[in-house]
Amino acid sequence: MKLKSIFAIAAVTLISFSSCKKDYVCVCSAFGFSGEAEVIENSTKKDAESRCEEIEKDSKEAIASATCSIEKKD
């Protein structure tokens, strides 16, 4: 019984850390230049990646070679 409790606590701890919300920065680059496109605050990594993909899609309409990726904000 005690072992089940330890595993349950460990599982809850892992889940809570994996869905932790943080601040991310969507960085886009084109023609050898890069810069912050948007700061994505209080977001999960998955949601930040989705938002950055939207930004990249919009950027590609203006500059076909544009690429964007997320980075954790310091």
Stretch 20-47: mean pLDDT: 95
| pLDDT over threshold 60, residue 20 | yes
Is residue 70 within 8 A of residue 22, CB to CB? The reply is no
pTM over 0.75: no
pLDDT band at 12; cut points 50, 70, 90: very low
How would you class 68 by CB atoms within 10 Å of its CB: exposed for 0-12, middle for 13-18, buried for 19 or more? buried
- For the chain, the structural domain boundaries read 21-72
Distance CA 28, CA 69 (A): 7
Distance CA 15, CA 54 (A): 27
pLDDT for residue 22: 95
pLDDT for residue 74: 79
CA quadruple 20, 43, 53, 68: dihedral positive or negative?
negative
